[in-house]
Amino acid sequence: MTADKKRLIALSAAVLISLGGCASNTEISVPRSRTRNITVEDTEDLTVKASELTEADMLKPSGELGSFSTKFNPKQKGRSSNIKRASDSINSVVVNPGETFSYNETIGPTSRKNGYKLGTIFVKGEMFEGYGGGVCQVSSTLYNAAANAGMTIVERHDHSRPVPYVEKGKDAATSYGGVDFKFKNEKLLELALTQSGADAINNNERLEFIGDRVLGLSVAALLYEMFADESEGELARRHAALVSTETLSDVAQKLGLDKRVRRGHMTAGRIKHILANAMEAVLGAIYIDGGWDAARDFVLDIWRDLAASVATAPKDACWRRACMMV
């Protein structure tokens, strides 16, 4: 696998974490665009569900992606209070594409000063009363829902002894300043490769918009550097050819995107345009995921060879045969 193809795998989608109510029944809801949402209701279960939401109504679930539930005893006042506080702490948190959600960083120190109460905690396999006892049930329930929803688990640790609310290996022990639970959503590449004919809402049009600008500026700067003696008109013709539908389609096929693009049924005659748009969307996704440097470097790794493959500026932009990918 080439370095360019490996770079495509590490893309993620934005995540919105939003809670409301008490910390007993927790839902993670995923909208049909770029966010995930967690809501909380008051029951004796701690339940996490991953559901799609519409862009028009960010709080209305329209399709479950995954869920998980755990039981807790509401009569344990301190522990229940800690579960509520930990859940409230992750309310309305946004995890941007490429970022990693950290449970510890989100809820902060589980100290008395931060409003946490005494509850049972584990230290080296022994049970003690400590501030924040119960917050690991929230992280464990969230871990299972995140895994079921297809998010990438970055960090997870077992407790030092079995816990009663999940099976062994299904828990996510956390300790502020120590072990953490982290996840990352790698759905952005899937979005970049979804044509509007396949999904009228969740598609690559917005990523294509920004990818077009990333490509245009990156190639312009590259040509300015490589061909210092050429006029503005010569640079413009080189630029037009390098960002053309033909060139983008060729690059997309070399990267294997033609085998991964999701497109509608009535698009057979537009495959080159679809691949070109997908290529731009991928560039936009890399920009959103890793920033300008990552997107520019990706472009330069491929387009520098394309630019160098033609010694003199073309008389027009129709130079596809002279500018095949090497």
Cβ proximity of 198 and 176 under 8 Å: no
Question: Which is catalytic among the residues 27, 186, 212, 289?
Answer: 212
Structure tokens at 205: 């049009």
- Does 280 qualify as catalytic in the annotation? yes
- Does 180 qualify as catalytic in the annotation? no
Distance CA(141)–CA(208), nearest Å, equals: 36
For 125, residues 6+ apart whose C-beta sits below 8 A from its C-beta are 160, 161
Helices of type H across 19-118: 77-89, 103-107
Place of tokens 């990818």: 211
Structure tokens at 145: 């829902």
Question: Which is catalytic among the residues 280, 293, 297, 305?
Answer: 280
Distance CA(106)–CA(249), nearest Å, equals: 42
Cβ proximity of 235 and 223 under 8 Å: yes
Helices of type H across 115-201: 135-148, 188-192
Structure tokens at 67: 């869920």
Distance CA(260)–CA(8), nearest Å, equals: 12
Distance CA(214)–CA(191), nearest Å, equals: 18
**Catalytic annotation, residues:** 212, 280
